Amino acid sequence: MINFGKYDQKVEFVSFQATSDGAGGTIFNPATLLSTFAAVTQRRANSDIESGDLVLSSTMEFRVQYRVSFIPSENYQILYRSKYYKITGVLLNEQRQHKEYIITAVGI
């Protein structure tokens, strides 16, 4: 059975498209491919024992429901809480009656 309540954070899958700036150059504008809800968790922070520093990781894990019309790829970015995350890995978790994508992404 699907637990819809765990998908409680709004995310957008974004692709950047090159457009002309009118002066002979190009600029990259974001184009939203999909706006959906996801379960979002932050990965553990990394610690560097030798220097004694605690480096906070900006690696996030996004879980979104499987859909036939959209397949996430590493060419896209995720917009979550006004911050862009570059997708580093996509895994399809397939259970008996439920499929979801597990996406790891790093903050830019």
Dump pLDDT digits (tens) for 32-59.
Answer: 999 999 999 998 655 555 555 555 558 9
Query: Rounded distance, CA 59 to CA 53, Å?
Result: 17
pLDDT, residue 72, reads 94
Which residue ranges make up each domain of the chain?
Answer: 4-107
Query: Rounded distance, CA 13 to CA 31, Å?
Result: 9
Which three-class secondary structure string do you get for 8-19? CEEEEEEEEEEE
Please report, rounded to a whole number, the percentage of residues in the chain having pLDDT higher than 90.
Answer: 58
- Does the domain spanning 4-107 belong to CATH 2.40.10.270? yes
Please report, rounded to a whole number, the percentage of residues in the chain having pLDDT higher than 70.
Answer: 83
Q: What is the pTM of this model?
A: 0.79
